[in-house]
Amino acid sequence: MSADLYFLFTLAVKMAIAAGFVISATVLAERAGPFIGALIVTLPISTGPAYVFIALDHEADFVARAALTSVLNNVPTVLYTVLFIFLAQRFDAFLSVGAGLAVWFAATFLLNQMTWALAPAILLNVAVVTVFFFLVRRFREAAMPRLPLRFSELMLRAVIVSILIAAVVTLSFTIGPERTGILASFPATFTSTMFILHRRVGGKATAAVMAHSLVGLLGFALCMGVLYLAAVPIGAPLALLLALAFSISWNAGLLMLRRAGLHL
């Protein structure tokens, strides 16, 4: 097999694996209700596989620098999510998602005009999540109707995340770790979930899932921080496992707090 054919084959395998993760997770989210759904979609479902493939192709320092950018770039995802929550109360999926994506791109561009250390990036995440948590919590309760799954919608989710993985794998060699971190943290899972759920169950129910997600998004930023701190000292493979364990533990902790009566 030629080098080009081998690259295309491995790329197709990577895209298929990542798409399978996203389809499974978002189907579970749709079936589980707003709170559990939010816990599922804030796990590193699309970003995690992207970083696995980055780690396969690059050194640990590259992974760490990309992860630091992903910590910062969680802030645009929070802004995107909040705007969607408000717009979805009145507008259709195209406008709600489109406006949210426009904010994501604008915020990403502005924030990445300067170099950020880990501590300021984490503090900015904490501040933004804290402010907007209280603004959107009134939208967290809505009925989630059970509707049959459609093959076309599953395929749309697969296509969105497959495009993300293909872009990360092919472009990471030329755009550098910082831009790779931006690309890897693009909210592919959120975008597909917002768009498809809005069209299936309506804006209010979809906004309820997203309104529950803000504290989970903070956990995602901290997960990327763990990857940044651990990638060079212990190696990217172990750092990825540690970051995943942190993300799962964070969301499991949120579930335990909710069952104890503290609704974060």
H/E/C letters for each residue in the chain?
Answer: CCHHHHHHHHHHHHHHHHHHHHHHHHHHHHHHCHHHHHHHHCCCCCHHHHHHHHHHHCCHHHHHHHHHHHHHCHHHHHHHHHHHHHHHCCCCHHHHHHHHHHHHHHHHHHHCCCCCCHHHHHHHHHHHHHHHHHHHHHHCCCCCCCCCCCHHHHHHHHHHHHHHHHHHHHHHHHHHHHHHHHHHCCCHHHHHHHHHHHHHHCHHHHHHHHHCCHHHHHHHHHHHHHHHHHHHHHCHHHHHHHHHHHHHHHHHHHHHHHHCCCCC
pLDDT at 6: 45
Tell me the residue range of the domain where 8 lies: 3-259
Indicate whether 35 belongs to any domain. Answer: yes
Indicate whether 26 belongs to any domain. Answer: yes
pLDDT at 259: 85
Indicate whether 14 belongs to any domain. Answer: yes
Q: How many domains, the chain?
A: 1
Indicate whether 264 belongs to any domain. Answer: no
pLDDT digit string, tens, across residues 29-83: 667 777 887 888 888 877 887 888 888 888 999 999 999 999 999 999 999 999 9
Supply the pTM of this predicted model.
Answer: 0.86
